[in-house]
Each structure stands twice: as structure tokens, then as C-alpha cells.
Amino acid sequence: MSYAEKARVAVLRGGPSSEYHISLRTGATVLANLPEKYHPLDVFIDREGLWHLRGKMEEPHAVLGKVDLVWNALHGEYGEDGTVQHLLEAHGTPFTGPKRFAATLSQNKLLAKKAAERSGIKTPYYKFLRREETPSLHAAAGELYRTFPQPCIVKPASKGSSIGIFLSASQDEIAEALFEVFAIGEVALIEEYIDGREAICAIIEGFRGEEHYSLLPVEVRLPSEREFLDFRTRYEGESTHLCPGKFSAAEKAELQELAIRMHRLLHLRHYSRSDFIVHPRRGIFFLETDALPDLYDERSSFPQSLKSVGATIPAFLEHVLTLAQERK
């Protein structure tokens, strides 16, 4: 196939996000694995949100005018909260991943949990606090310590990759966690801590003849000194993935069903990944859904899930790009 016949694919990576470095790595994986039928364009978006193509700063509309479709390799703010989706939709450029509304919905953990609850999907008991409505962190922490199941998880309502997540078991620890969370977000989500096995299950639309193809559930193994999955354990090699996880047949089937249901409930497109806690007596609890799972490296859960079913990253990329070209 000649250069002129190849579809030009802009791979967006970087961005004004707390997940900037994760996005750079995901974008690198996409660029390295695009099938020969595509001509890749590495579009770097800096921390100020400025777009760069071939080392030169350009306006987004100028870049989009040179491409046929976009692979959105951005993560977190800007890339997963509806901002870049709004820009791409306004320009009419086909792109991978969720549309604007679905991105906004899935990025907000509080809205996603409410959607799960309305559908009868179990999720840990929770409360939320808004920064402007919490004049005294110490008083708020005292109230939570007295009235909320302890220990508890405190995290931002709209951050991904386990950023800013804390396990707190005292009034002082809760106050400190609220201080840290409010430093990076306006809404704090407080969840009961459920001591169980962490599970991840990914979905691909239209794959292998299925409307929603569920990959095999992954079990996250934490180091002995860690009680929950945070950014460090997720990305700095402290956690390991067992794929497929050691779940019973019933647990495996339920995890796959729940991942599909959350993908549908949040109106996502092309692919997604949902996180769960599996408790030995209380069952399976939904935690959150990632609308654009990272392809950080071969240790990431999504590439490992692909490998476990005999699929390759290039084949996955081609499949999703085909869906995007067909505007599905």
C-alpha cells in the first residue's frame, strides 16, 4: 500500500493531566504497534494543552485537517472528561473511545456509582463532600470517623489511575486525606473499605463476532505491605497481575457480566475496563470504569488480557480503528 493510500492516524498523547506520563507511554505503545495500513502522526499535547506535530506547535483544527482519524491515547483530565471529545466532535473527525457525554459520565466516579446503583449493581457504601461546603476538615473528619464504617477510602471523585487515594482509620488520617484530595479536586468521595481481591475486567465491542466481548478477568496481586491499589502500586511495579485470575467459574461469569453492564450503562464505545472488589462472603462490588484503559507497557492489565485470549495489540488497534472509521 502506498503512502497516499494509507489512512492518516493522529495519536494524541500527553495533555494537561495528572496522568500525563501514563498517556505518553500509552501513545508510544499505539505508535509502535499500528498496522502497516495506517500512517501514524505523533501528536504531542503539552501540559498547557498546546498541540504539537513534528515538533511544531499547531492549532488543533490545523492538525485535525491533516488526518483521517484519531486514536485518543490521553488519560485523565482533558482526554477522558469530555474536553477533547467535544473538540473532536465539533471538527467531525472520527476518533476512538467514548463520545463527550459518556466520557464526562465515566470520569466522574460519583455519577458512575449512582448509575451502577440504579441498575442494582453493588458498590461500596459511600458519601461525598464538596470542598466549598467543607469549611472545617477536622470537623468533617470527626463526623466521618463517628458515623462512617472504618477504615475508609478517601479519593477524588474525578481522577483516574488510583491518583490521590488514601486508606484512613482515624480522625487525623481522614482529615489529612481530605486535605490532600481537596488540593487536587473539588469533590472528595469517601467509600467503605472492603477487604477483598481486586479484579479488573475489560470489554471490546464487536470483537470476535460478539457485540460486547469480555476479556478474561484479571486478579491484582498486591505486595504484603499494601492494603489497596494506589498509583504507586499500579504503575511502579509493586503490584502484579494474574491473568486469568483465580476466580471461581461463577465469579468469572459475574465479573464479565458486570463489566459489560457498566460499559453499556455509561454509554461507552469501542473498549473499556472496570475495576471490582471480590469479597469472600459479600460478593462482588463495582469500584469504577476506565473509558480509556492504559496501554502503559506489557505489564498493564489490558495488554495482558489481550495476550491471555490469544489477541495481539496490533490486531486490537486495527479492530478499534475500523470501528472508529465506521463511526460505530
Judged against a pLDDT cut of 50, whether residue 231 lies above it is answered with no
**Domain carrying residue 27:** 3-95
Per residue in 12-32, pLDDT (tens digit) is: 999 999 899 999 999 999 999
Per residue in 160-216, pLDDT (tens digit) is: 656 788 999 999 999 999 999 999 889 999 999 999 999 999 999 999 999 999 999
Domain CATH for 135: 3.30.1490.20
Same domain, 45 and 161: no
Q: Euclidean distance between the first and final Cα of the chain, in Å?
A: 25
Res 158: pLDDT: 84
Domain CATH for 83: 3.40.50.20
For residue 118, name the pLDDT band (cuts at 50, 70, 90): very high
Same domain, 69 and 151: no
Write a three-state SS string for 30-50: HHHHCCCCEEEEEEEECCCCC
**Does some domain include residue 100?**
no
CA dist 308 and 125 (Å) reads 33
For residue 226, name the pLDDT band (cuts at 50, 70, 90): low
Same domain, 183 and 204: no
Could you give the angle at which helices 313-325 and 20-33 cross, rounded to 10 degrees?
90
Same domain, 118 and 241: yes
Nearest to 165 by CA among 217, 120, 124: 124
Same domain, 207 and 321: yes
Instruction: Select from 192, 221, 237 the last residue of a domain.
Output: 192
Share of the chain above pLDDT 90, in %: 85
Judged against a pLDDT cut of 70, whether residue 265 lies above it is answered with yes
